[in-house]
Amino acid sequence: MTEKPLDIAGAQAVIAKHCRRLPSSPVAVDEALGLVLDEAVVAAGDVPGTANSAMDGFAAQPSAAGTRLTIVGESRAGHPSETVVAAGEAVRISTGATMPQGATAVAPIEVVEESDDTVTLVQELTEAANVRMAGEDLRAGDEVLGAGRELGPAEIGIAVAAGRATLNCTRRVRVAIVATGDELRKPGEPLKPGELHDSNLTTLQAMARQAGAEVVSAAHVGDDRDATEAAFAQALKAADVVVCSGGVSVGPHDHVKGALIGLGVEQHFWRVALRPGRPTWFGSREGRLVFGLPGNPVSAMVTFLLFVAPALRALQGRRALESSAAVLGESIGRHPKRDECVRVRVVDREAFATGPQGSHILSSMTLADALAVIPRGEGSLDAGSPIELLALEP
């Protein structure tokens, strides 16, 4: 535990030390997007299972241009033909349909002349033309995905093709969100003077889902010590990670730290040498992580991206996102003591600030495609200076 502000990397290192990968469980393939495999997937059979046609056309033996073939049957997708194809014969065939016995090539519909029950080949039909061989994609017994793979749409598709309906994956991280503040009203509610809509509760849920988490609760609580403690007690029951916004500074109505300490959550750090996001708090209790993010909407988003999202990824066994390199398109003033995350638009690898950078100015976040990290220091960082970029979306 330390009261001295850490820098961004120092705070991330403290968090990483407390991230243990969650246990795995079988997950239905249609729930597995974004999860990480905890087993190898092996093909149950050949894919494709049989030789089949790559085109709509006619299956036959290799024949010279001008050959006239008698149509003796049809093979449709899912309905193979029983007919054995002899020389001078053809079976009408659809894309993906199994090749009938005897036939080893397919003349596409576009290169035959059809009349009644015959077709004439306009071009020579060569051996294996337009035929997909059994096992061309996967062979029975092939390892198609290794343990540790992150499941995207293609990985899920190939697991299904390999015969799987469920996959053993590191389970989705469960997140509870708590927004604090007497001034906050639900989306759409009318506002009295001094009130504002609670945007963080919704935005933080969206960010948690974008990082692959399951949001198990989202609650608003006023600036009251007992109510704050009750909200955290509830959140800690169901969640692996609790993310709170607001009430984490030193004001007389900021109850987050006191409530968490009261519940036995151990503080690992409070304050990061960062703008926006200085008052960020991090602690844990029995392996459950708690993040107290500042209430200003941009501060909450920036600190979620820097600290919460990497933790959610690590708990789910996902690799860390890498930053990318760019250069400043314009000169940007530096903060003497804090590294600053500036909302930027990136054009041809050059980063330009999106406008006013106050931590309450969410509109300049909506114009941004990345955060540029401006290291602390005197004066300004000149146009052309190399900088690190953090993507706003995973």
Query: Rule CB under 6 A: which residues touch ligand AMP?
Result: 179, 181, 183-184, 196, 198-201, 245-247, 249, 294-297
CB-nearer residue toward ligand AMP: 181 or 212 = 181
The number of angstroms, rounded, from the C-alpha of 381 to the middle of its chain's C-alpha atoms is 33
Query: Which of 5, 246, 277, 292 lies at the binding interface for Mg ion (CB under 5 A)?
Result: 246
Q: What's the closest the beta carbon of residue 248 comes to ligand AMP, in angstroms?
A: 6
The three-class DSSP label of residue 282 is strand
- Pick between residue 5 and residue 317 the one whose CB is nearest to ligand AMP: 5
Q: HEC string of 316-373?
A: CCCCCCCCEEEEECCCEECCCCCEEEEEEEEECCEEEECCCCCCCCCHHHHCCCEEEE
In which element (H, E) is residue 283 found? strand 281-285
- From the CB of 279, what's the least distance to Mg ion, in Å? 11
Using alpha carbons, select from 185, 157, 198 the residue that is nearest to residue 41. 157
Please, what is the minimum distance in Å from the beta carbon of residue 206 to ligand AMP? 13
**Least CB distance to ligand AMP at residue 262 (A):** 18
Q: Assess 297 for contact with Mg ion (CB under 5 A).
A: no
Stretch that binds Mg ion, among 86-94, 166-174, 294-302, 308-316 (CB under 5 A): 294-302
Query: Of 6-14, 23-31, 175-183, 279-287, which segment contacts Mg ion by CB under 5 A?
Result: 175-183
**Residues 349-368, interacting with Mg ion (CB under 5 A):** none
Which of ligand AMP, Mg ion, none interacts with 100 (beta carbon under 5 to 8 A by kind)? none
Whether omega before 336 lies within 30 degrees of 0, making that bond cis, reads: no
**Smallest distance, Å, CB 218 to ligand AMP?**
11
For the beta carbon of residue 240, count every other beta carbon within 10 angstroms: 23
- Count residues binding Mg ion (CB under 5 A): 4
Of the pair 246, 317, the CB lying nearest Mg ion is at: 246
Closest CA relative to residue 236, chosen from 271, 283, 189: 283
What minimum distance in Å lies between the beta carbon of 258 and ligand AMP? 14
- Rounded Cα distance between 178 and 218, Å, is 6
Closer Cβ to ligand AMP, 134 or 219, answer by number:
219
CB of 174 to ligand AMP, least distance (A): 21
Q: CB 245 → ligand AMP: shortest distance, Å?
A: 5
- Tell me which stretch binds Mg ion (CB under 5 A): 1-9, 155-163, 287-295, 302-310: 287-295
Q: How far is the CB of 348 from Mg ion (least distance, A)?
A: 41
Find tokens 């759409």 and name the residue.
Answer: 188
Strand, helix or coil for residue 184: strand
Q: Give yes or no for residue 181 binding Mg ion (CB under 5 A).
A: yes
Judged by CB under 5 A, the stretch of 34-42, 95-103, 127-135, 177-185 that binds Mg ion is 177-185
Residue 199 vs 234, nearer CB to ligand AMP: 199
Name the one residue in this structure whose structure tokens are 């290291």: 375
Q: Which is nearest to 344 in space by CA: 310, 368, 308?
A: 368
Strands 288-293 and 241-245 turn out to be parallel
Nearer to Mg ion, 1 or 250 (CB): 250
Burial (CB count <10 Å: 0-12, 13-18, 19+), residue 53: buried
Among 247, 276, 310, 317, binds Mg ion (CB under 5 A): 247
> Closest-CB residue for ligand AMP?
295
Q: Which residue, 183 or 330, has its beta carbon nearer to ligand AMP? A: 183
Is residue 222 classed exposed, middle or buried when 0-12, 13-18 and 19+ CB atoms within 10 A define those classes?
Answer: middle
Complete DSSP assignment for 44-86 = SS-BSSS-EESSSEEEE--B-TT-EEEEEEEEBTTB---PPPP
> Among 219, 240, 221, 237, which Cα is nearest to 175's?
240
Question: Between 138 and 178, whose beta carbon lies closer to Mg ion?
Answer: 178
Contact residues for Mg ion, defined by CB under 5 A = 181, 246-247, 295
